Structure 1
């Protein structure tokens, strides 16, 4: 499972999809639920972005 989640296509999907949901959530849902959804999806998106940057560093230097 770790190999699948750390593959570049999956990381790109997680990054872009969760970023889009985090950006649209405040307009689609009202109140606390919008803030919680945007924050949760934003955290997942940032995590995937960090994974992409880490993988990029390995490819450049190695």
Structure 2
């Protein structure tokens, strides 16, 4: 599972999809649920972005 989640295409999908959902969630879902959805998806997008940046660095796996 770790090799699947660290593959670049998967990281790009996670980053872009979760970033889009985080940006749209407050407008689609009302109230606190929309805000919390945006926060949760934003955290996942940030994690995928960090994974993409780490994979660019020389000497990383």
Instruction: Tell me if both proteins adopt one fold, taking TM over 0.5 as the criterion.
Output: yes
State the 1:10 CA deviation.
0.1
State the 1:23 CA deviation.
0.2
Which 4+ stretches in 1 moved above 3 angstroms? Answer: none
TM-score (norm 1): 0.92
Unaligned runs of at least 5 residues, structure 1: none
Aligned equivalent of 1:48: 48
Aligned equivalent of 2:58: 58
